[in-house]
């Protein structure tokens, strides 16, 4: 049975993208309901909020989210070893957007959600099941069977894109990529505020200090490789110990806690909006983590979709669709150029696969599987 209350907008997912959209819409006086299961899923380790995203939050009156920064760690620059054996250092002093923050994601998401509730949005803890079109909009079903009505719906469910899939909307899928993450205590330079990115023969690694002083270490590789390494601590530790710059910088690592595995491939919705519906954040476009722009994109698309709803008509949605399409195309070009810039292991399956265009992926997949690789 559908609840008789009809909301202007129902948002499935209250992560950064959903909360940002809710905040803007509620401030503009629209009735908004966020539905999120808030399942204690696998935590997100060591994600960096870029300086540009902080500026966007400040512009939305959300600068207070970082009033108490103890739980997030400042990121003052990077060391990148990619395409060459020598590391290239970058410094936020040269970045017009200023320093980033390595987030405690649960805390960040919760602060943003609370800010959208303070702006007047409602929320309910529930798993979103199905969605159905009706005469005056939509009926969104909770997994309990109860339902709510909405004039407009927003899919902010992240990579799972729950509503898009229920609406039969397809997505372009990038080359398979899996990230294995674990926390560690380094022997040296534990207080360093730089991010280290290092390309390796069968993947690339990421290392960054989090708020509690430990380091999040991520290894991004082929799915079959990730499955094997996740199951074998010794082999995983041995591979990371062979990363020359990680070892030189941090010394021996003492591993702590579970090894988390996350899908990290690119995903792009073929359409980011349609009549009465919008997809935002990862549901619209999920980046390869090498881009470091997922959170900015989540906040920006949340905001842009809210603005499109406020403009209304066909003008708002068209502008939104164009913006997402433009970002998707620039991202695809830059990502490919980045992977192609690493030529030291261009004959290795990982780098061959990541350098492909969508067009030549199919034939390459079959050639790799003939060689015995499970891609």
Ligand X SMILES: Cc1cc2nc3c(=O)[nH]c(=O)nc-3n(C[C@H](O)[C@H](O)[C@H](O)COP(=O)(O)OP(=O)(O)OC[C@H]3O[C@@H](n4cnc5c(N)ncnc54)[C@H](O)[C@@H]3O)c2cc1C
Structure tokens at 372: 């015995």
Q: Are 289 and 179 in contact (CB under 8 A)?
A: yes
Instruction: Work out how close the CB of 17 gets to ligand X at its nearest, in angstroms, rounded to a whole number.
Output: 3
Q: Which of 157, 169, 328, 356 binds ligand X (CB under 6 A)?
A: 157
Instruction: Work out how close the CB of 127 gets to ligand X at its nearest, in angstroms, rounded to a whole number.
Output: 4
Closest to 303 in 3D by CA, of 7, 51, 55: 55
Q: Interface mask (CB under 6 A) for ligand X, residues 7-46, using x and -? A: -----xxxxxxx----------------xxxxx----x--
264 part of the interface to ligand X, by CB under 6 A: yes
Instruction: Work out how close the CB of 293 gets to ligand X at its nearest, in angstroms, rounded to a whole number.
Output: 6
Closest to 194 in 3D by CA, of 126, 245, 123, 137: 245
Q: Are 48 and 76 in contact (CB under 8 A)?
A: no
Instruction: Work out how close the CB of 140 gets to ligand X at its nearest, in angstroms, rounded to a whole number.
Output: 10
User: Is the CB of 250 or the CB of 285 nearer to ligand X?
Assistant: 285
Alpha-carbon distance values, 271 to 98, 164, 317 (Å): 33, 9, 11
The SS3 assignment for 167 reads coil
239 part of the interface to ligand X, by CB under 6 A: no
User: Is the CB of 47 or the CB of 60 nearer to ligand X?
Assistant: 47
| Distance of alpha carbon 75 from alpha carbon 78, whole angstroms | 8
51 part of the interface to ligand X, by CB under 6 A: no
Instruction: Work out how close the CB of 262 gets to ligand X at its nearest, in angstroms, rounded to a whole number.
Output: 4
Q: Which of 72, 162, 194, 230 binds ligand X (CB under 6 A)?
A: 162
The secondary element (H helix, E strand) that includes residue 280 is: none
User: Is the CB of 56 or the CB of 239 nearer to ligand X?
Assistant: 56
Candidate ranges 132-140, 153-161, 246-254, 329-337; the one touching ligand X (CB under 6 A) = 153-161
Ramachandran category for residue 353: left, alpha or beta (phi over 0 → left; psi -120 to 50 → alpha):
alpha
Instruction: Work out how close the CB of 371 gets to ligand X at its nearest, in angstroms, rounded to a whole number.
Output: 27
Instruction: Work out how close the CB of 54 gets to ligand X at its nearest, in angstroms, rounded to a whole number.
Output: 11
Q: Which of 22, 179, 306, 353 binds ligand X (CB under 6 A)?
A: 179
User: Is the CB of 179 or the CB of 210 nearer to ligand X?
Assistant: 179
174 part of the interface to ligand X, by CB under 6 A: no
What DSSP string runs through 302-320? HHHHHHHHHH-TTHHHHHH
User: How many residues bind to ligand X according to rule CB under 6 A?
Assistant: 35
Helix-then-strand count for the chain, H and E: 11, 21
User: Is the CB of 74 or the CB of 251 nearer to ligand X?
Assistant: 74
| Distance of alpha carbon 305 from alpha carbon 223, whole angstroms | 33
Q: Are 219 and 238 in contact (CB under 8 A)?
A: no
User: Is the CB of 34 or the CB of 250 nearer to ligand X?
Assistant: 34
What dihedral angle (degrees, nearest 10) is formed by the CA atoms of 356, 360, 362, 368? -60
User: Is the CB of 40 or the CB of 347 nearer to ligand X?
Assistant: 40
- At residue 328, what are phi and psi to the nearest 5 degrees? -60, -45
Binding to ligand X (CB under 6 A): which residues in 55-114?
none
Alpha-carbon distance values, 171 to 19, 105, 168, 291 (Å): 23, 26, 10, 19
Candidate ranges 66-74, 116-124, 156-164, 307-315; the one touching ligand X (CB under 6 A) = 156-164
Q: Are 323 and 254 in contact (CB under 8 A)?
A: no
Binding to ligand X (CB under 6 A): which residues in 283-312?
289, 292-296, 298
Instruction: Work out how close the CB of 271 gets to ligand X at its nearest, in angstroms, rounded to a whole number.
Output: 17
Alpha-carbon distance values, 179 to 111, 224, 315 (Å): 26, 12, 39
User: Is the CB of 300 or the CB of 360 nearer to ligand X?
Assistant: 300
User: Is the CB of 11 or the CB of 81 nearer to ligand X?
Assistant: 11
Q: What per-residue string of b and e applies to 255-265 under the rule 16 or more CB within 10 Å gives b?
A: eeeebbbbebb
166 part of the interface to ligand X, by CB under 6 A: no
Binding interface with ligand X (CB under 6 A): 12-18, 35-39, 44, 47-48, 127-128, 156-158, 160, 162, 179, 218, 262, 264, 281-282, 289, 292-296, 298
């Amino acid at each position: 049975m559908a609840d008789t209350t009809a909301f202007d907008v129902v948002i499935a997912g209250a992560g950064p993208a959903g909360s940002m959209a809710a905040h803007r819409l509620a401030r503009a006086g629209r009735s908004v309901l966020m539905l999120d299961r808030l399942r204690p899923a696998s935590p997100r380790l060591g994600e960096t909020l870029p300086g540009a995203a902080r500026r966007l939050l400040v512009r939305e009156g959300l600068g207070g989210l970082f009033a108490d920064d103890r739980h997030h760690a400042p990121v003052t620059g990077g060391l990148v070893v990619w395409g060459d054996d020598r590391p290239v250092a970058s410094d936020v002093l040269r970045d017009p957007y200023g320093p980033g923050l390595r987030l405690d994601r649960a805390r960040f998401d919760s602060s943003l959600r609370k800010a959208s509730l303070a702006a007047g949005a409602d929320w309910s803890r529930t798993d979103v099941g199905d969605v159905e079109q009706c005469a005056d909009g939509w009926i969104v079903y909770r997994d309990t069977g109860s339902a709510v009505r909405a004039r407009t719906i927003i899919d902010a469910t992240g990579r799972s894109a729950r509503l898009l899939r229920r609406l039969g909307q397809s997505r372009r899928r990038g080359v398979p990529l899996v990230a294995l993450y674990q926390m560690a205590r380094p022997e040296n330079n534990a207080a360093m505020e730089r991010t280290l990115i290092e390309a390796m023969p069968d993947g690339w690694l990421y290392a960054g200090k989090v708020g509690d002083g430990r380091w999040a270490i991520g290894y991004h590789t082929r799915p079959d490789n990730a499955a094997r390494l996740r199951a074998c601590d010794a082999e995983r530790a041995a591979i990371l110990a062979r990363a020359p710059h990680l070892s030189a910088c941090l010394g021996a690592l003492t591993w702590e806690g579970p090894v988390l595995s996350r899908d990290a491939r690119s995903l792009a919705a073929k359409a980011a909006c349609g009549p009465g519906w919008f997809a935002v954040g990862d549901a619209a476009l999920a980046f390869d983590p090498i881009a470091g722009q997922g959170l900015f994109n989540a906040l920006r698309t949340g905001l842009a979709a809210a603005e499109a709803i406020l403009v209304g008509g066909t003008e708002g949605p068209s502008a939104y669709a164009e913006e997402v399409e433009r970002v998707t195309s620039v991202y695809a070009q830059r990502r490919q150029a980045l992977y192609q810039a690493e030529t030291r292991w261009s004959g290795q399956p990982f780098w061959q696969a990541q350098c492909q265009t969508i067009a030549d992926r199919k034939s390459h997949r079959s050639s790799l599987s003939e060689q015995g690789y499970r891609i």
